[in-house]
Amino acid sequence: MKVTLLSSTPLGEEVCATAAKTCYSSKEPQEIFESTKARTDIVVPTLEDIIASGHDSVLEHLTMTFAVSGISRVSTHQLVRHRLASYEQQSQRYVDVRKTWENIVVPPTIKDLLDTEWELADNISDEPLKRAIVKYRDGLDELLTILSECNIPSEDLRYFVPQGTSSNIIITMNARELRHFFSLRMCRRAQWEIRELATKMWKICVDKYPTIFKDAGPECMRTKCREGKRSCKHPLTKEELL
């Protein structure tokens, strides 16, 4: 999986600090913004105070756009449940699914058995497993080819494609939603692939805006775990994630 930051709000931290100060000042926001740009030393304490107070709405004025490639549709289906965001995903109507389904995302548990996406590792002697994998790979490839030759459109072929098929997606979130996303999806109990995505996005955010994302991350990094009896009992640390 590859995650890249495409763009973010110019002077994002200054904008958020201006939004915060506008709420408590009689000055015009334009004047506050200009003074904030001139006095960058006040940006960090302003943001730290506002985040500590829970006035998180000011963080919505900073947005970040990420490009993600090599993620499965298993995870993008989870991702789009975070509704306070914008998404554009590779279409299976207009992109030939026969060219994408072979780039299947393989979970770590199955990678122990496969040395590539569809080849059995040399140290595995399980013949029934080997036959099943070859039968599945070749059978599905043949089915998609035959259906395509029958002029079945790609939008209908996709019904036969596995959820693990690799996809590409563009994600835009504001800083407040990113912090919420990280609190849920960086948890040890989160599904492994979306946790990998969240962690890679988090590292970019921490590097780009260290003040806003200073305490961002899984819930257990800053407060009590909300999983209750389902808790893993092993709180994560920032050092471990980095």
Residue 92 CB partners (closer than 8 Å, separation 6+): 100, 154, 155, 158, 161
Gap between the Cα atoms of 148 and 156, Å rounded: 10
238 burial level (CB within 10 Å; 0-12, 13-18, 19+): middle
Q: Catalytic residue among 73, 176, 179, 185, which?
A: 185
Q: Cα–Cα–Cα angle for 54, 56, 57, nearest 5°?
A: 135
Give the Cα separation of 136 and 177 in Å (integer): 40
In 10 A of CB 158, how many CB atoms? 18
Q: Decide if 185 is catalytic.
A: yes
Distance CA 85, CA 233 (A): 31
Q: What is the DSSP string of 6-24?
A: EEE-TTHHHHHHHHHHHTT
Q: Structure tokens of 211? A: 């003040």
Q: Which residues are catalytic?
A: 185
